């Protein structure tokens, strides 16, 4: 009779251990699935052809560009808030080739990712903070792409006037009907979207591109952009980027946020080319999903 309580305790401990092992195994499987999903992307030198016509583009029904820009402007305001309220796991894949196509470097890293806006010269400037996963590593190219997740803010009401914008018609993006908006930096406006640091200052880049805006949601679904001219001060001959945005479910708050999912960047320098592919997964909301305050590292 005296053995019964001990036996029950032992069974309880065993069940608890089994549950813990199952939970750890599930977490490991989810993380491995995230890594495998991101690894499937094979990097190629295939920058978006911004100037190529879209064969699938349709002109009927007609596009009311004023209404589209008003809707996407409202969603851009939400994106501004969303970007500062999440953390994510980020995978970066990097490859470098010579102009003849000979591979020179490649690397892959997993990072804990945090986005922030900071005041700089009276304006909000985007900042990204990455720390490698435990047992992981950083590499120089992992800090090369900065702030590009925020390219959708081109459609922020305060930024739209920096660009000439027109509606080309409607198309589809990931199975969703979308208006295609073409944009191009105005020469008489400040170049606020993207800047390159040089000794003694910064150089603003002129961008042009197009974005697929969801007909029903008003959200930026997909965006393609490129530099309108080279940046000799940093040795950059050309640059092009694509960003995909999609809804993320925050179950604990029963809410949905639109956030960046994938980003691909193509940089062409004097003697070589670089491709970087960013994948974001395992999103958490700061105020609910994270238990510890994330301390921002010093900007390098």
* CA atoms of 30 and 36, how far apart (whole Å): 10
Per-residue model confidence as pLDDT tens digits over 50-92 = 999 999 999 999 999 999 999 999 999 999 999 988 899 999 9
* 3-state DSSP assignment of residue 147: coil
Rounded to whole angstroms, what are the CA distances from 208 to 57, 71, 213, 221?
Answer: 19, 21, 16, 17
Is-contact 141 276, C-beta < 8 A?
Answer: yes
Would you say residue 247 lies in a domain? yes
Would you say residue 49 lies in a domain? no
Which are the contacts of 194, defined by CB distance < 8 A and separation ≥ 6?
147, 148, 204, 205, 207
Opening angle at CA 225, ends 117 and 119, nearest 5: 15
pTM exceeding the 0.95 threshold for the entire prediction = no
Per-residue model confidence as pLDDT tens digits over 82-121 = 998 889 999 999 999 998 889 999 999 999 999 988 877 7
Residue 31's pLDDT band (boundaries 50, 70, 90)? very low
Residue, of 126 and 263, whose pLDDT is higher: 263
Would you say residue 233 lies in a domain? yes
**Number of domains the chain contains:** 2
Nearest to 184 by CA among 161, 159, 207, 203: 207
26 and 155 housed in the same domain: no
Residue 168 — φ and ψ, nearest 5°?
A: -90, -15
Residue, of 294 and 237, whose pLDDT is higher: 237
Least confident of 7-21, 44-58, 271-285: 7-21
4 and 130 housed in the same domain: no
Arithmetic mean of pLDDT, 151-176: 97
Domain that holds residue 96: 61-289
Would you say residue 188 lies in a domain? yes
Would you say residue 300 lies in a domain? no
First to last CA, the chain: 68
Beta strands 195-198 and 236-250, pairing class: unpaired
34 and 68 housed in the same domain: no
The number of CA neighbours under 13 Å toward the Cβ of 276 is 22
Per-residue model confidence as pLDDT tens digits over 220-267 = 999 999 999 999 999 999 999 999 999 998 776 677 899 999 999 999
Nearest to 280 by CA among 32, 37, 26, 27: 37
162 and 193 housed in the same domain: yes
281 and 201 housed in the same domain: yes
Q: How high is the pLDDT of residue 104?
A: 95
Cis peptide before 61 (omega within 30 of 0): yes
CATH number of the CATH domain containing 71: 2.50.20
């Amino acid at each position: 009779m005296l053995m019964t309580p001990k036996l029950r305790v032992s069974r309880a401990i065993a069940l608890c251990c089994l549950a813990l092992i199952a939970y750890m195994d599930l977490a490991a499987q989810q993380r491995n699935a995230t890594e495998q999903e991101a690894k499937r992307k094979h990097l190629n030198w295939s920058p978006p052809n911004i100037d190529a016509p879209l064969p699938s583009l349709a002109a009927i029904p007609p596009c009311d560009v004023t209404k589209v820009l008003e809707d996407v402007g409202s969603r851009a305001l939400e994106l501004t808030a969303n970007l500062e309220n999440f953390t994510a796991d980020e995978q970066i894949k990097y490859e470098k080739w010579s102009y003849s196509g000979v591979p020179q470097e490649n690397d892959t890293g997993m990072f804990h990712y945090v986005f922030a806006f900071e005041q700089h010269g009276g304006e909000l400037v985007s900042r990204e903070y990455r720390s490698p996963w435990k047992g992981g590593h950083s590499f120089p190219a992992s800090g090369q792409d900065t702030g590009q997740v925020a390219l959708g803010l081109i459609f922020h009401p305060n930024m739209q006037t920096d660009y000439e914008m027109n509606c080309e018609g409607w198309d589809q993006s990931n199975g969703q009907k979308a208006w295609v908006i073409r944009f191009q930096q105005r020469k008489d406006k400040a170049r606020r979207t993207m800047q390159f640091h040089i000794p003694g200052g910064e150089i603003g880049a002129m961008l042009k591109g197009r974005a697929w805006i969801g007909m029903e949601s008003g959200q930026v679904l997909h965006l393609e952009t490129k530099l309108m001219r080279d940046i000799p001060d940093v040795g950059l001959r050309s640059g092009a980027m694509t960003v995909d945005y999609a809804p993320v479910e925050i179950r604990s708050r029963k809410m949905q946020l639109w956030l960046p999912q994938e980003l691909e960047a193509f940089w062409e320098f004097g003697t070589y080319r670089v491709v970087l592919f960013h994948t974001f997964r395992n999103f958490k909301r700061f105020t609910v999903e994270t238990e510890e305050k994330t301390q921002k590292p010093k900007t390098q």
